[in-house]
Amino acid sequence: MKILIVEDEELAVKKIRKTLASVDSTAEVAGVTDSIRATVEWLENNPSPDLILMDIELSDGQSFEIFNRVKVKASVIFTTSYDEYALKAFKVNSIDYLLKPVQKEDLDAALQKYHQLKDHYATGAAPNAQVNMDNLARELFQKLQQKDFRKRFLVKNAQKLVSIEVEDIAYFFSDGRLNFFKTFDNKKFVVDYTMDELEEMLNPETYFRISRSFFISVNSVSQIHEYFGNRLMLQLKPEVDKEALVSREKVADFKKWMGK
| Dist CA 144 CA 61 (whole Å) | 14
Cα distance between residue 7 and residue 20, in whole Å: 14
Q: Tell me the C-alpha distance between 207 and 218, whole Å.
A: 6
Q: Which one, of 20, 16, 44, 46, lies nearest residue 31 by Cα? A: 46
Beta-carbon contacts of 125 under 8 Å, excluding residues fewer than 6 positions away, are: none
Burial of 215 (0-12, 13-18, 19+ CB in 10 A): buried
Q: What is the pLDDT of residue 118?
A: 67
- Edge to edge, the sheet with strand 221-227 lists 221-227, 231-236, 244-246
**For residues 140-168, average pLDDT:** 83
Report yes or no: 22 and 104 within 8 Å, Cβ to Cβ. yes
pLDDT tens digits for range 222-247: 999 999 888 999 999 999 888 999 99
Instruction: Classify strands 188-190 and 207-211 as parallel, antiparallel or unpaired.
Output: unpaired
User: Of 37, 25, 38, 31, nearest to 13 (Cα)?
Assistant: 31
Q: Could you say which DSSP state residue 168 is in? A: G
Could you read off the pLDDT of 101-146 as tens digits, one per residue? 778 888 888 788 777 766 655 554 444 334 455 555 666 666 555 5
pLDDT, residue 91, reads 43
Q: Please work out, in degrees rounded to the nearest 5, the angle formed at the alpha carbon of residue 119 by the alpha carbons of 15 and 24.
A: 25
**Percent of the chain as helix, strand, coil, to the nearest 5:** 35, 30, 30
Q: State yes or no: pLDDT of 97 exceeds 70.
A: no
Q: Helix 104-122 to helix 10-23 angle, to the nearest 10 degrees?
A: 60
Q: Which residues is 165 bridged to in the sheet?
A: 152
The residue type at 22: S
14-23, 80-89, 162-171, range with the lowest pLDDT: 80-89
Domains of the chain: 2-146 (3.40.50.2300), 152-258 (2.40.50.1020)
pTM attached to this predicted model? 0.49
